[in-house]
């Protein structure tokens, strides 16, 4: 078997993943902190003020990376849910379910920072604009997945049911988005794009991209840390957990 | 062992479900009463001025009927789960998605259809202009099956939980936002004298998509829940 594929198969095994994630987490957190310090300094101090919005535009260094992450995490959750349902991989179930609260948090931060920015700029905390509304629906979808996961007793069945709901939501999300765009639009269009030139000053752009990188590494660090705990709970009766925690008493593990 | 044809199984299921509803026909009235009461609360809250009520009529009727259906969704599989016939459907040799589609159809016919029948009454209560009424009825005819289909997937996921009512609401409502936007949007466009065909066509397109996909999704969800 080719070495990359072999490594990927090994990664699906909880003990291997547990050790691998444990080694990776400090690095991810380090990159997150360095990236956030550089990105925030670049964004809040070095970048020039906007010619129209003045300094209030600087909230994009939190708002926009979080908004990107809210969608990225949902895609990540749905993709893992798909893998979990099709190939019954335990690790994917765990990853899908542990990413849901982080995604909900990113969505919430996006809504809060957006409304903080909207008050001085648009003169209102909330407006029923298309992007705001679809972000709100996204938050409800996250809540639905989290709620369903916690409502079912059996962890594995709960994660499969919630992963299925995440997939249904993923099918529905574009429809929701375009229906609310059709319904009402006020939010500005896309400024930064992957394809073609961005309509933003490069001095403003680089801190934004640094922050985007830092939020990604934060997500993965937080995800891996949560996944490690969930795996310990899920596998609490198994031998590797006992040897990992160095205690012979599995009852303690269930309270981690 | 010989099995009947799939068609015979569907026919038997349709007959059985209809009979069950008929035997407990008093319960079937509850969603209607709920919708009427919700609609009649709005004039109390907003005041009886004709102009105010006219403007909110279509949207209010839409929301009231969707909520009434949402509350009745819970009964879709409940009694079948309790008496074990749901498991029999799952292990039967016929395609589960088709059998569930039959159940969803009966559920729609016994809850949504009466709601659509009383929609003109609700419209009169809120002084909806007469020319908007046909649009409202068509929009309801297209959007209530969508709600039944999408709701069935969510019910299948929450089945077996003791108190699933609130959770079901949390799962279903975000998914049916587009239905509400297009359905009520068509009525509002008609009321303002604009073209209202586009949102209705969108609803129709979405209904066709859901008719194919939702029974399959409900079957998959049910298998997860009963595993």
For B29-39, the pLDDT digits (tens) are 889 999 999 99
If you count residue pairs, one on A and one on B, with CB atoms under 8 Å apart, how many are there? 70
**Distance from A89 to chain B by nearest Cα, in Å?**
15
Tell me which residue of B151, B179, B174 sits closest to B71, measured CA to CA: B151
Q: How far apart are CA A7 and CA A220, in angstroms?
A: 19
pLDDT at A197 over 60: no
Any idea what the Cα angle at residue A106 is, between residues A104 and A111, rounded to 5°? 95
**A255 falls in which pLDDT band (50, 70, 90)?**
very low
B123/A200: higher pLDDT: B123
Probe site for chain A from B143, B166, B171 (most A CB atoms < 10 A): B171
By CA distance, what is B205's nearest residue in A? A175
Give me the helices (H) in B24-164, please: 25-28, 30-46, 50-73, 75-82, 85-91, 96-107, 113-125, 133-158
| The pLDDT of residue A213 | 92
The answer to whether B42 faces chain A, any CB pair under 8 Å, is no
| The pLDDT of residue A253 | 47
**Distance from B177 to chain A by nearest Cα, in Å?**
7
Probe site for chain B from A129, A132, A177, A183 (most B CB atoms < 10 A): A183
Q: Is B124 helix (H, G, I), strand (E, B) or coil?
A: helix
- Report pTM: 0.84
Probe site for chain B from A93, A168, A171, A178 (most B CB atoms < 10 A): A168
From chain A, pick out residues whose CB is under 8 angstroms from the CB of B161. Answer: 151-152
**A184 falls in which pLDDT band (50, 70, 90)?**
low
| The pLDDT of residue A249 | 53
CA atoms within 13 Å, Cβ hemisphere of A220:
18
Backbone dihedral angles phi then psi of residue A50, each to the nearest 5 degrees:
-70, 145
From chain A, pick out residues whose CB is under 8 angstroms from the CB of B206. Answer: 175
The least confident of A51-55, A91-95, A170-174, A234-238 is A51-55
pLDDT in tens, B57-114: 889 999 999 999 988 888 888 888 888 888 888 888 889 999 999 999 999 999 999 9
pLDDT in tens, A46-66: 777 777 777 778 888 889 899
| The pLDDT of residue A33 | 93
Partner residue opposite A176 with nearest CB, options B171, B177, B185: B177
**Beta carbons within 8 Å of A160's beta carbon, 6+ residues apart:** A84, A85, A93, B224, B227
Tell me what percent of the residues of chain A surpass a pLDDT of 70: 89
Average pLDDT, chain B: 88
**A247 falls in which pLDDT band (50, 70, 90)?**
low
ipTM: 0.82
| The pLDDT of residue B212 | 93
From chain B, pick out residues whose CB is under 8 angstroms from the CB of A179. Answer: 177-178, 181-182, 202
pLDDT at A189 over 90: no
Query: How much is the average pLDDT of B128-149?
Result: 92
């Amino acid at each position: 078997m080719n070495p990359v594929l072999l490594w990927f198969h090994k990664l699906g095994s909880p003990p291997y993943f547990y050790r691998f994630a444990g080694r990776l987490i400090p690095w991810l957190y380090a990159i997150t902190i360095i990236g956030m310090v550089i990105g925030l300094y670049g964004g809040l101090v070095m970048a020039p003020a906007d010619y129209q919005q003045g300094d209030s535009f600087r909230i994009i260094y939190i708002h926009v990376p979080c908004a990107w992450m809210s969608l990225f995490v949902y895609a990540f959750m749905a993709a893992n849910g798909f893998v979990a349902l099709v190939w019954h991989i335990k690790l994917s179930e765990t990853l899908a379910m542990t990413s849901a609260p982080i995604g909900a948090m990113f969505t919430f931060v996006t809504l809060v920072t957006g409304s903080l920015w909207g008050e001085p700029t648009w003169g209102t905390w909330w407006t029923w604009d298309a992007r705001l509304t679809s972000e709100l629906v996204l938050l409800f979808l996250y809540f639905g997945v989290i709620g369903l996961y916690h409502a079912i007793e059996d962890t594995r069945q709960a994660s499969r049911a919630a992963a299925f709901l995440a997939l249904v939501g993923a099918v529905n999300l574009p429809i929701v988005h375009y229906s609310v765009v059709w319904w009402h639009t006020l939010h500005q269009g896309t400024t930064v794009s992957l394809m073609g030139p961005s309509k933003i000053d490069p001095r403003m752009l680089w801190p934004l991209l640094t922050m985007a990188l830092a939020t990604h590494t934060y997500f993965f660090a937080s995800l891996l840390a949560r996944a490690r705990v969930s795996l310990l709970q899920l596998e609490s009766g198994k031998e590797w957990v006992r040897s990992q925690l160095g205690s012979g008493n599995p009852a303690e593990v269930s309270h981690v | 062992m010989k099995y009947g044809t799939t068609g015979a199984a569907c026919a038997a299921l349709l007959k059985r479900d209809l009979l069950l509803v008929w035997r407990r026909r008093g319960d079937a009235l509850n969603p209607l009463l709920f919708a009427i009461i919700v609609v009649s609360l709005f004039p109390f809250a907003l005041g009886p001025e004709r102009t105010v009520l006219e403007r909110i009529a279509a949207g209010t009727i839409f929301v009231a009927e969707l909520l009434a259906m949402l509350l009745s969704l819970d009964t879709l599989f409940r009694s079948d789960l309790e008496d074990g016939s749901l498991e029999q459907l799952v292990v039967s040799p016929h395609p589960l998605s088709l059998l569930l589609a039959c159940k969803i159809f009966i559920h729609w016919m016994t809850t949504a259809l009466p709601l659509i029948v009383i929609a003109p009454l609700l419209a009169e209560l809120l002084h909806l202009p007469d020319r908007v009424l046909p649009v409202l009825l068509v929009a309801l005819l297209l959007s209530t099956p969508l709600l039944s289909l999408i709701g069935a997937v969510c019910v299948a996921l929450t089945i077996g939980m003791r108190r699933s009512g609130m959770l079901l609401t949390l799962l279903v409502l975000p998914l049916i936002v587009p239905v509400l936007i297009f359905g009520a949007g068509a009525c509002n466009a008609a009321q303002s004298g604009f073209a209202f065909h586009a949102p209705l066509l969108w609803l129709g397109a979405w209904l066709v998509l859901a008719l194919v996909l939702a029974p399959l999704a409900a079957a998959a969800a049910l298998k997860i829940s009963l595993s």
